[in-house]
Each structure stands twice: as C-alpha cells, then as structure tokens.
Amino acid sequence: MANKKRILSGMQPSGPLHLGNYFGALKNWISLQDEYECFFFIADWHALTTLYEDPRKIKQFSYDVAVDWLSMGLDPEKCTLFVQSRIPEHAELHLILSMIVPVPWLERNPTYKEKQTEITNVDMSSYGFLGYPILQTADIILYKADFVPVGIDQAPHLELSREIVRRFNNLYNKRVFVEPDAKISEVPKLNGLDGRKMSKSYNNAIYLSDSEEEVRKKVQIMVTDPQRKRRNDPGEPDVCNLFPFHKIYSPAEMQAEVASTCRTAAIGCTDCKAKLVRNMTDGMRPALEKRKEIVSNPKRVMEILDEGSKKAHKVARETLREAKEAMQMADGFPS
Ligand code: TRP
Ligand code: SF4
C-alpha cells in the first residue's frame, strides 16, 4: 500500500461524457485503480478557458462528469475523486510557476496553436489560455504524481510539466517536485456517427448516459462504408465507421462473420447494425443500471467529491508548503 506509485489525471467538465471519452481515458483510469494510488479530478478552472462567458454551465457539467465516472466504475473507496477549484493551492502554485516559465515555452505548445484556430465560437486569446499548461502542471506536481494517464494529444503538455519541474528544482536547489511521466494508453479508433472524430461540438456522439432507444436511433443513422451504396455492393469493414464498434462490443466470432459476410455482400448494413445494437445495449446496460442508483442520490455524489477534495487538499497544502520553504517564502513577510 505505502509504496504504490501515484497516478493523477483530470478531465474538463465540458459536457456529459461520450464513448470516445470512455474508451480514450476513463476505461483506462478504472483499470488503474487497484494497482496505483489514484487521484482523479474535475478540471473546472480549466473549463473556464472556453466557458468563461457561461460559468454556470460548468457546475452542471461537473456533476454530469462525476455521475459518469461513478456509473462506469470509478470507485471512491479505491481512489480520490476531487474538484480542482476546491483546492486553492492549484491557483497559488500556478501563480508561482508562471513567474519562472518563459512565455516562448507556452507559445510553442502545439495544442495552443491548434485550439486557437480550431475553436472559433469563443475568443481564445486570453492570458489564461496561454497558461493552460502551467495550471495543468500545478495540478500534477502538487500531488507528486509519478504517472499521468492521458491521450497522446497531451504528451506535449507533460513534456512541458517535466521542464517546469526541472526549472523549479534547479532554481531553488531542492527536489520538491517529481517529474511526471505520461502514461499513454492505446485507444481504439472510434469515430462519431458521421465519421468525424467523436465530439460534443460535432453533435455526432453516443453518450454514456444514452438510453437503449437513443443508442438504437444513433446506430441507425451511422455512416458505413461510403462505397457500399446498394445492398448488393460488397463492403469493406476496415473503412466502415461502424465496424470498430463491433470490435468493442461483439464477440470475436461475430466480428469475423460480419467482416466476411460484409465483403461478399451476404449481410446488409441494416442487419449488421441490428446485431451491433443488440451487443452495444447489452454492453452498456450494467452501467445504465448503476447510473439509476447514482442519480437517485445526488447528495451522495456531492459527499464523494467533498471527501475526496478534503483528502486532496491535505496533500496539496503540504507540497505547496515545501515549495514555498524551498523559496524561503513559507512564512510570508515580514518574518
Ligand atoms: N488538459 C486535460 C485535457 O484536456 C485536462 C487536465 C487538466 C489534466 N489538468 C490535468 C489532465 C492534469 C491530466 C493532468 O484532457
Ligand atoms: Fe459496415 Fe456492417 Fe455495412 Fe459492412 S455490413 S459496411 S461492416 S455496417
């Protein structure tokens, strides 16, 4: 117990979670709970970078995310679940780190450039958005996390976190912070209904909270092999948007059968979809059942985040004190 390595990761509350979020991150988190000491948090301050005009939404989304986490199997008995904004040390360390990070380190961050061109409905020219990876670094190093499970898109952020840690520890001559390692998981490629990346903003997602009926309707409109225009045209599962879902939800024999009968046009997309719907709804049912139980007791959800935040706060407070001691600023001024 005492020598378990520590894991930390966070998610922005930008809406209810979809299957892409689950297979891209959450499933991996759940599998790490036993082997590591885990801290998982809702990055509500980070969500302000895009939702600053509408911060009330962040509250609802945070609750939605917590319900998604618990329904899918993050277990508060095994890991610490908390809310970023409940721990002011994240903001305080962010400020301190921002004094030692050269602006060019931030400007060359690829996700900064990408998102600025990608997100056009909100003005993303804020100072806080430029400093996003500094806040993320504070999130991680306050807990001295050894590993940070993230998607490959976050790798540059983690690299920056390591640079910041080295800079801090060198400047103040003490190894206060630990260089975190990214733990990049293999992610099955699941696209949205229209074949683009699954995303809330494309309106093409299947949500963890979708009912069986909603899943059925969504699968029915899913684009398949675009070359397969008529029922008698043979198809190619490897270019079909639907087939990756079979790979997740259908037994191996059915996957093989679907693939070969698709290629000979022995099966049509309508039948193939019906098979998938059955397996998907079966696969999703246990979590939907658990969700009913979770949402019947919203107070308990709050309590879990409360307890987790208290636990996290203790750790963060202690680390920040060490950092300020290394800087000889622990006792304020005059002292
Ligand atoms: N930037 C992450 C994302 O968009 C969310 C995040 C914020 C995070 N702070 C973090 C992830 C700390 C890991 C560790 O997905
Ligand atoms: Fe895709 Fe199935 Fe249609 Fe083949 S039969 S193209 S795998 S939906």
What is the C-alpha to C-alpha distance for residues 305 and 41, in angstroms, rounded to an integer?
9
What is the C-alpha to C-alpha distance for residues 333 and 327, in angstroms, rounded to an integer?
13
Q: For residue 38, report the phi and psi dihedrals to the nearest 5 degrees.
A: -110, 135
Residues in the chain where the model's pLDDT stays below 50: none
Closest CA to 85 of 324, 321, 313: 313
Pocket mutation for ligand 1, best pick of 6, 7, 8, 9 (most atoms within 8 Å of C-beta): 9
**What pLDDT was estimated at residue 115?**
84
**What pLDDT was estimated at residue 1?**
55
Pocket mutation for ligand 1, best pick of 136, 164, 178, 187 (most atoms within 8 Å of C-beta): 136
User: Which ligand 1 atom sits nearest the alpha carbon of residue 11?
Assistant: 5
In this structure, which residue's CA is closest to atom 8 in ligand 2? 269
Ramachandran bin of 195, using left for φ above 0, alpha for ψ from -120 to 50, beta for the remaining angles: left
Catalytic residue among 27, 197, 275, 311: 197
CB of 43 shorter than 6 A to ligand 1 = yes
Is the backbone peptide bond immediately before 334 cis, with ω within 30 degrees of 0? yes
4 is annotated as an active-site residue: no
Condensed to tens digits (0 to 9), the pLDDT of residues 158-189 reads 999 999 999 999 999 999 999 999 999 888 88
Catalytic residue among 57, 115, 290, 311: 115
CA dihedral 110, 143, 79, 303 (to 10 degrees): -100
**What pLDDT was estimated at residue 332?**
77
Q: Which CATH class is domain 6-190+298-326?
A: alpha beta
CB of 150 shorter than 6 A to ligand 1 = yes
Q: Where are the domains of the chain?
A: 6-190+298-326, 212-292
144 is annotated as an active-site residue: no
Pairing of strands 79-83, 6-11: unpaired
Where in 92-251 does DSSP place strands (E)? 147-150, 181-184
Record the tokens describing residue 183, joined without a space.
């733990």
User: Which ligand 2 atom sits nearest the alpha carbon of residue 222?
Assistant: 8
Report the predicted TM-score, pTM, of the whole model to 2 decimal places.
Answer: 0.95
Enumerate residues 6+ apart whose C-beta is below 8 A from 95. Answer: none
What is the C-alpha to C-alpha distance for residues 60 and 208, in angstroms, rounded to an integer?
16
Q: What is the CATH number of domain 212-292?
A: 1.10.240.10
Question: Of the ligands numbered here, which is closest to the C-alpha atom of 259?
Answer: 2
